[in-house]
């Protein structure tokens, strides 16, 4: 029986949410939009198109979307050489892989950004596959990214766990039928994560690792066991 441990990356394994907030805020500012940082923070975790639509509305000048997204990508790219992983993030993935879990990443990152994140996490040998937003038609909070990750792992939802830090992660995992674990290190309130479908909360990867045996990732037979 294959058990999949599916992980979001930004804000879950890497301490990058606030970098995204700052660079999205600046990208909007350059395009002439005054978007509060707290609103940007709540939207982080969505794909670029959905994030822009959520923050600027459907009646915006959509011809600006590509330029705003490109500006964010360029601004965020200046951090690629120093993206920080959370403490024990890589170790957590390695312990899970050694324990029989098939570890898959589900992220909207790709290209140089994904390479930089993987360097920061430093657990390539533990990661079986990466499900990118480019591989699916709908991003989180749709179930498709998580379902695609399960397909890559060859695992069923009932024996799998999805770990994330945003409301969008919890909604995607719940819709895909997996057990959801919420991490607070992305800055989203625990009550919001629980309301969106988190079965349990931990502070960060180190906290989850320290309590792994009593978590959904430590139960014999997988999440459904």
Q: How far apart are alpha carbons 172 and 24 in whole angstroms?
A: 23
Q: How far apart are alpha carbons 119 and 200 in whole angstroms?
A: 28
Q: Which bin fits 84, alpha (ψ -120 to 50), beta or left (φ > 0)?
A: beta
The residue ranges of the chain whose pLDDT is under 50 are 220-222, 224-225
Q: What is the model's pLDDT at position 103?
A: 98
Long-range CB pairs of 62-70 (<8 Å, 24+ gap) are: 64/31, 67/31, 68/27, 68/28, 68/31, 68/33, 69/27
Q: What is the model's pLDDT at position 219?
A: 62
Q: What is the model's pLDDT at position 223?
A: 54
């Amino acid at each position: 029986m294959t058990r999949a441990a599916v992980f979001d990356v930004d804000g879950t394994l890497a301490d990058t949410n606030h970098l995204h907030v700052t660079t999205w805020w600046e990208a909007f500012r350059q395009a002439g939009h005054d978007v509060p940082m707290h609103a940007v923070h709540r939207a982080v975790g969505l794909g670029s198109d959905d994030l822009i639509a959520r923050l600027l509305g459907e009646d915006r000048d959509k011809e600006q979307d590509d330029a705003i997204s490109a500006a964010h990508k360029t601004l965020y790219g200046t951090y690629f050489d120093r993206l920080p992983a959370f403490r024990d993030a890589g170790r957590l993935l390695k312990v899970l892989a050694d324990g029989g879990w098939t570890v898959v990443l589900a992220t909207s990152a790709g290209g140089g950004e994904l390479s930089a994140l993987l360097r920061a996490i430093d657990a390539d040998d533990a990661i079986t596959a990466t499900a990118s937003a480019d591989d699916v038609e709908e991003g989180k909070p749709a179930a498709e990214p998580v379902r695609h990750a399960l397909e890559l792992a060859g695992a069923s939802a009932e024996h799998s766990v999805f770990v994330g830090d945003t409301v969008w992660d919890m909604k995607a995992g719940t819709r895909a039928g997996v057990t959801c674990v919420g991490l607070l290190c992305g800055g989203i309130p625990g009550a919001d994560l629980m309301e969106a479908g988190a079965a349990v909360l931990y502070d960060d990867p180190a906290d989850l690792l320290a309590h792994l045996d009593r978590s959904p990732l430590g139960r014999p037979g997988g999440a459904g066991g």
